Amino acid sequence: MLQITNLSKTYPNGVKALQDVSLTISNGMFGLLGPNGAGKSTLMRTIATLQDADSGTIMFGDINVSKQKQELRKVLGYLPQEFGVYPRVSAEEMLHYIARLKGVANDKERKELVQALLEQVNLYNHRKKSLSGYSGGMKQRFGIAQALIGSPKLIIVDEPTAGLDPAERLRFNNLLSEIGENIVIILSTHIVEDVSELCRDMAIIAGGKVVQRGNPEDLVNALENRIWSKRVKKDEVAQYQANYKMVLAKLSAGSMKVFIDSETDPGNDFKRERATLEDVYFSNIF
């Protein structure tokens, strides 16, 4: 179990990246959802021992993360948002190198491990190819392979599907789902659908604060029968925003469609919509 308590971080430029963040995260896939700049990457880097918080604590089981960084790193697999690789090296060579760094010294054991990982992420047939020739999705799957070296008990993936095409995104999400339920996996993303499909527990972070927490299905059910929509002119959006609790406004089929949160029928030609996790997300960040 990962226990984050009253974590805060302010950068030298005055940006409050984390403000009194507290979360308890159990085994399985946990979704951390929020817009760019919300504090997700700061939280992920802090958990991964890459930077220190100003205050607060992080415990992973009996490990105090800020005081026992090397102990945490022994059980950590990390795929950052910007994952750098040596472009002229093959996937197979790179995994051997990382495995040696993680203490897999026996040649036979390391060879079997690398082969198993490449097969698990469906890259074995491309193992001799230079990483510079990999697509974005292949690089992300390679990133998961290196994160799995050492049988980690905590895996962090930060914005893993940003920029992937739909097919590669599906492959990556399927891979995450197959990793297992006996470890803690934190999926940090701004893509609502990824959390909806993969996670049984989640939190929404905005402005460095946790603004919502719970099971995605339960959070959606709490908004059921409260979401209403209407098509309006673009220059009318501000008026509706002022008069209603607007969830979002988006261009749909050539016109603007506004979505509002109302416990009773707002009238004025609004139509009831089925609530989604997207509604939960936008109602908490705006």
Percent of the chain with pLDDT over 70: 98
The pLDDT value given to residue 261:
96
Summary mean pLDDT of the chain:
92
Backbone angles phi, psi at 66, to 5 degrees: -70, -25
The pLDDT value given to residue 179:
83
Yes or no: say if 58 and 18 are a contact pair by the CB < 8 Å rule.
no
The pLDDT value given to residue 172:
84
For residue 66, pLDDT beyond 80: yes
For residue 38, pLDDT beyond 80: yes
Decide the pairing of beta strands 154-158 and 55-60. unpaired
* Strands laid side by side in the 154-158 sheet: 76-79, 154-158, 184-189, 28-33, 201-206, 209-214
CA distances from 250 to 15, 235, 259, 274, 286 (A): 29, 13, 9, 16, 14
The stretch 130-150 carries a mean pLDDT of: 88
For residue 3, pLDDT beyond 70: yes
For residue 281, pLDDT beyond 80: yes
The stretch 210-232 carries a mean pLDDT of: 96
Q: Which of 33-42, 207-216, 221-230 has the lowest mean pLDDT?
A: 33-42
For residue 74, pLDDT beyond 80: yes
Of the two residues 171 and 242, the one the predictor is more confident about is 242
For residue 28, pLDDT beyond 70: yes
102 token code pair: 């993680």
For residue 85, pLDDT beyond 70: no
- pLDDT confidence bin for 252, thresholds 50/70/90: confident
Burial class (CB in 10 A: 0-12, 13-18, 19+), 172: buried
CATH architecture of 2-215: 3-Layer(aba) Sandwich (3.40)
